[in-house]
Amino acid sequence: MNKTMTEQESKRKTDKRKGKTKILFSVLLGVYDFIAVCAAYFLALWMRFDFFFSHIEQKYLDAFGKFILFYGAFSVLVLWLFRLYKTLWRYIGISEMVRTLAVSLLLSVVHAVAITLIFWHRMPFSYYIGGAMIQAVFLIGMRFSARMYSNWHSRKAFSHMPMDRVMLIGAGNAGQMILKDMVANPVNRDKVVCIIDDDPNKQGRYLESVPIVGGREDILSAVQKYRIDKIYLAIPSATAEQKRDILAICNETDCELKQLPGIYQLISGQVTVSAMKDVAVEDLLGREPIRPDLSGVYSFINGKTVLVTGGGGSIGSELCRQIAAHGPKQLIIFDVYENSAYEIQQELKELYPTMDLVVLIGSVRDSRRMFKVFDTYRPQIVYHAAAHKHVPLMEDSPCEAIKNNVLGTYKTAYAAMVHGCERFVLISTDKAVNPTNVMGASKRLCEMIVQCFDAKIKAGKASEIPQLFTHEGWENADKDGTGSVFRSIRTEFVAVRFGNVLGSNGSVIPLFKKQIAKGGPVTVTHPDVVRYFMTIPEAVSLVMLAGTYAKGGEIFVLDMGSPVKIDTLARNLIRQAGLKPDVDIKIEYTGLRPGEKLYEEKLMAAEGLRKTENELIHIGAPIKLDQDLLFKNLNTLMNAAYANDERIRALLLDIVPTYHPADNSGDKPTITIYGAHGKEEKDELHAAG
């Protein structure tokens, strides 16, 4: 208590002292202005007579002496009325300079009119012009000197800090703004020593006294010649492909990379050094982000009850954000992990305080819990993101992958079907294509489940879909035994398949960054391992669109561009940290993990592709399955999983014909990749080179 009172008393004394200092400064500035305006016109009169006081005619001296003191007092009053004593002069800018100049010109006009009309003495013409000019210099000069002194003092305080030499890429408006901000900011210790621009008309010239030394082909030589420490990319209008090409060259250096986020900063005038951000991994992918028209999504979701399972995860939470932005009647977040569910709950409460938000804790493996949720809230749309996704962990615990991924999907899908859900969207993965691990095989089985559900419903045979692991009691779908619950089933089931997600839980990017922060080594499983990547917002946009494009039974596939070598990704991250791969940070190759393969595929051979309204989103046609056999095998698989049977992989092999457990002994077989542009056979070793 006493400590708090002491701190408050100290703060009051400090504020009082600062207030007195501010008043004193304003008074002193007023005295200076009084002397300055008087001296300005005396100097003008003195100059008119060649700086000989004795040559000044007495009539001019008399008029000047009678008028000047009144004029000085009047000038201080006018400056005060224009609030020029309340400005923070250490931060003076163009607007304050223009305002001071305007007031000075006004005073000069008043001076000329008053001394001529009131005192009836016409002064020499040079007196009026010279006095006005000197007065403006005196008034503006004093005010800018405060800023100059403040900048000098600040730079002196930071002079002990090392100065980094910067290369600026882009000699346009953004580049010019960055240069001016670096000069104006006294705390900044970076110095632009050269500029790169592809426009030949700009090369060989100067921007703010800094030479424009060449185009992108000169980046590497300029880095050595000018001893560059940092590279700033200031081309906000550049396409993703253009940025990728430039950054690929920059990554050959050991310089720290930063860039201006986008064209919005240029338009809004927020082009400053502080607005520069680190180059993100997605900037190196060279693919324009998918920005689909989501107006159809709005009409699809608006006013409906939406359930997101796994809503606290990286994909699930982004789904919740985008769904919340589209005006649902009610959003239900369902997750087994309460911490992540709580985080997204608090975020959405702050952003959408009036939205009807429900957060529930539970497992999709619990059929009774799922029935209770669907019976209570009757969701119309379900996005099923709950799943175990970590490949090596699922290799060690295969039964858990079956329980959570396969049976959790089945139970959620069944509950959705019998409770009037309109659309069920499964979040799948490219690891489901020709899977070599338990996780991928389980997700492929999930795809098969939703396709069989959809086929049975379309055939009017929903009653033939067994309710696995049914408990005695109210959660039994066919309560009265008449089958009436199956007569009005209309749920449409679809799956969405995409690759690795940048920044998601379990992603390789956070792992690499942690390893770099610790000083290495960075662990890469294999120098040739390749993956497709996309950002979380892109993945979620695809999922959202699946709900609008769906007719039932489809697998939506995203054309994710060119695959990225994980080894290259690791080296880029090391360079972005200002370090040298294999010198400052070692890269260790640990060997492919259990179930891991060199390449991920987007589509299986039996699947064909057809286009959607978005040229980067394609649909894989459903593969014909023996639905009754699949349901029968699922019952066997369920019993084995809950018995923790070690033969679970053998059962998966029988049920998922495309599942071939990986042999990571070093063999590199020939595989077939079916992407958005057709079929292409590649030898993995050759393709990696």
Q: What is the pLDDT of residues 543-583, one digit of tens each?
A: 787 777 777 777 877 666 666 778 877 887 787 676 778 88
Nearest Cα neighbor of 273 from 159, 188, 171 is 188
Residues 143 and 177 occupy one common structural domain? no
For 354, the 3-state DSSP assignment is coil
Residues 212 and 74 occupy one common structural domain? no
CB 318 within 8 A of CB 540: yes
- The mean-pLDDT minimum among 97-111, 232-246, 431-445, 512-526 falls in 232-246
Q: 304 lies in a domain? A: yes
Q: 357 lies in a domain? A: yes
Residues 524 and 639 occupy one common structural domain? yes
Q: The whole model's pTM is what?
A: 0.61
Q: 567 lies in a domain? A: yes
Residues 355 and 498 occupy one common structural domain? yes
Q: Is the pLDDT of residue 45 over 80?
A: yes
Residues 522 and 649 occupy one common structural domain? yes
* pLDDT band for position 118 (cuts 50, 70, 90): low
For 386, the enclosing helix (H) or strand (E) is none
* pLDDT band for position 531 (cuts 50, 70, 90): confident
Distance CA(563)–CA(601), nearest Å, equals: 10
Query: Beta-carbon neighbour count of residue 317 at 10 Å?
Result: 25
Q: Is the pLDDT of residue 676 over 50?
A: no
Distance CA(574)–CA(151), nearest Å, equals: 36
Nearest Cα neighbor of 261 from 248, 278, 249 is 278
**What's the total number of domains in the chain?**
3
Alpha carbon of 566 to those of 162, 285, 443, 528, 532: distances in Å? 35, 12, 23, 8, 10
Alpha carbon of 503 to those of 241, 328, 535, 559: distances in Å? 21, 27, 8, 19
Distance CA(45)–CA(126), nearest Å, equals: 8
Residues 111 and 178 occupy one common structural domain? no
Distance CA(368)–CA(363), nearest Å, equals: 10
Determine the residue type at 114: A
**Alpha carbon 373 to chain centroid, angstroms:** 34
Q: 478 lies in a domain? A: no
ω into residue 521 within 30 of 0, thus cis?
Answer: yes
CB 543 within 8 A of CB 427: yes
Mean residue pLDDT across the chain: 78
Nearest Cα neighbor of 271 from 166, 167, 172 is 172
More confident residue, 61 or 495: 495
Taking the C-alpha atoms of 507, 511, 513 and 514 in order, what is their torsion angle to the nearest 10 degrees? 150
Domain boundary among 228, 253, 279: 279
Give per-residue pLDDT as tens, 171-214: 888 888 888 777 666 556 678 899 999 888 899 888 878 899 99
Residue written as token pair 């202005």 = 33
Q: Please, how many CA atoms are within 13 Å of residue 687, restricted to the half-sphere of its CB?
A: 21
Residues 109 and 209 occupy one common structural domain? no
Q: 8 lies in a domain? A: no
Residues 177 and 152 occupy one common structural domain? no
Q: 181 lies in a domain? A: yes
Structural domain harbouring 195: 164-279
Which CATH number does the domain housing residue 584 bear? 3.40.50.720
Q: 418 lies in a domain? A: yes
Give per-residue pLDDT as tens, 224-238: 999 998 888 888 777
Residues 116 and 226 occupy one common structural domain? no
Nearest Cα neighbor of 427 from 441, 440, 443 is 443
Residues 325 and 351 occupy one common structural domain? yes
Domain boundary among 134, 157, 180: 157
Domain boundary among 279, 306, 333: 279
For residues 430-439, give the mean pLDDT: 87
Q: 49 lies in a domain? A: yes
CB 354 within 8 A of CB 380: no
DSSP letters along 46-104, please?
HHHTTT-GGGS-HHHHHHHHHHHHHHHHHHHHHHHHTTTTSS-GGG--HHHHHHHHHHH
pLDDT at 307: 97
Residues assigned a catalytic role: 431
Strand 678-683, strand 670-675: pairing: antiparallel
pLDDT at 448: 93
For residues 519-546, give the mean pLDDT: 79
For residues 283-291, give the mean pLDDT: 59
Residues 657 and 556 occupy one common structural domain? yes
Q: Is the pLDDT of residue 410 over 90?
A: yes
Query: Beta-carbon neighbour count of residue 598 at 10 Å?
Result: 22
Strand 530-531, strand 609-611: pairing: unpaired
Residues 363 and 463 occupy one common structural domain? yes
Q: Is the pLDDT of residue 276 over 60?
A: no
